[in-house]
Structure 1
């Protein structure tokens, strides 16, 4: 089995989510595992980093934690997501770590299964593994994919869980290829890094088992008991009122209670950043309301 190496990228707005994702990944690994955890964070103070270490230390599990410092100018010419380009940082990860294999996880997830089997998987020479959740026909970038002579029946994946063969990624200089494509099609890209990764790798990536990226929406049903729960879209569990709107949001808050995040910041109604985020995600609440009216 390859050494277990898991990476996360987050900014200050996602601090609570990062604690939940990182803690739940650690405690669900099989006994005896000592993962190397990599964190690429923005605007985290030394106190924030110490708090994250307290969350992990409290599990009683062994781990190594390394902070990675990205070059923020590398992606300055690529399209932003809500004014932020940190979504591209995951493309840098295989270049920055001295690992054979690396698992990238979004922060808006809750892990309820052992991730170590992914480090035993035969990637068959592919540089990337992902969980295919549909086809290009139902993606926001389908017009771009058609213009590139790709088929609407080609696979499509969410980029929130990615398994990198770092050696192959570096050998094939795939970071440069991603940046080159992003610059050439910057005006057509709809879902930032996810568009780039799907166009370049959807037909060649290794398909990982579905349990490792299980989408949680207002309509989610029959979720496996052992899975990586991914709260895609908005609202997220920590948004205003979402605890009563989203399935498995309460499970996220139960995990949050086990972290070193202060009590006052575990309550969305008392968090200023949550109120600032609210106007930006009103569309998500509207979609939830429409879905409920449609039954």
Structure 2
């Protein structure tokens, strides 16, 4: 049985995408069953070549989806509220059912700021108990939806309801397709709801309310800190300000498995990515573009 994994990223995040993909390979026994669906935009030929090196090390399959060539994605990205921190690539996961082939029954979506350190076969053998998706509760979900004094959007979200983080979502593709997520998003945009909520994550929580299976926290360890190492997390999610690809020692000491992450990314790519980020930072600082 094939195990399908989807990643979405742009050219400024190619190295973390590689690290996430390689961590899946390193910690999964049935590597020959892995199929990676790489949904990308603005990807340079050199960075694509870096990603393709994964097949030199592992017997996996790569499937490429150039979102710059997708009229649907371009339309969505142009009209929907822009996530300035993550870019509008976040909306790509909503299109998963329209991108993958009909033979894909289940797919694991992963954000690219993740490190996997347990066999994902567990997720593909999991009984979804009739639910459309499986995910992990976000520990600050009520703050995301309610914001100051937990009072905002009370007509949309009840803080007593469980709210999932969409960085790791195990998807039953048929149920995802049946939910008509793009259609629901268009309706939410027309009614003004999309302009009020936290991008696609809030939308998915509205669509799949009471229709998702709650997984143990360790399958999406949010804001992964050094202390989490003692709790044996399965998937680390670096949602905090400090990232494992930082080069300042103080930053690295605060995040979980920073040294492991560097070697999963590989030393060569880690330091090339550091130079890429510094170059990009100076360009923005000097007003020379992104």
Normalising by structure 2, report the TM-score.
Answer: 0.83
* Greater CA drift, 12-21 or 72-81: 72-81
Give the RMSD, CA atoms, in angstroms.
2.7
Q: Which runs of 5+ in 1 are unaligned?
A: 279-295
* Correspondent of 1:147 among 123, 147, 155: 155
Q: What residue in structure 1 maps to residue 83 of structure 2?
A: 81
Match of 1:114 in 2: 119
Q: Which has the higher helix share?
A: 2
Q: Of the candidates 59, 64, 77, which is equivalent to residue 62 of structure 1?
A: 59
What is the aligned length? 272
Match of 2:70 in 1: none
**Separation in 1, partners of 2:51, 2:202:** 31
**CA distance in structure 1 between the partners assigned to 2:190 and 2:225 by the alignment:** 35
Contact 1:3 1:101 in 2 (8 A): no
Aligned to 1:94: 97
Shift of 1:46: 2.4
Unaligned residue ranges in structure 2 (runs of 5+) = 68-72, 286-290
How do residues 1-295 of structure 1 correspond to structure 2 at under 5 angstroms? Answer: 3-31=2-30, 33-54=32-53, 56-59=54-57, 61-70=58-67, 71-82=73-84, 84-98=87-101, 99-134=104-139, 136-141=141-146, 143-148=151-156, 150-184=157-191, 185-189=193-197, 191-218=198-225, 220-221=227-228, 223-239=230-246, 241=248, 242-257=251-266, 261=269, 264-267=271-274, 271-273=278-280
Checking the alignment, whether the CA contact within 8 Å between 2:229 and 2:256 is kept in structure 1 is: no
**Residue by residue, what CA displacement relative to the aligned partner does 1:141-170 show, whole Å, maximum 9, x if unpaired?**
45454213x421100111100111111221
* Alignment partner, residue 288 of structure 2: none
Q: Deviations over 1:49-95 (max 9, x none)?
A: 122111x1343x21110111333212422111117211110010122
- Please give the alpha-carbon distance, in whole angstroms, between the structure 2 residues aligned to 1:219 and 1:198: 29
Contact 1:269 1:275 in 2 (8 A): no
Question: TM-score under structure 1 normalisation?
Answer: 0.81
Cα distance, 1:116 vs structure 2: 1.1
- 3-state SS, counterpart of residue 177 of structure 1: helix
Q: How far apart in 2 are the matches of 1:100 and 1:269? A: 37
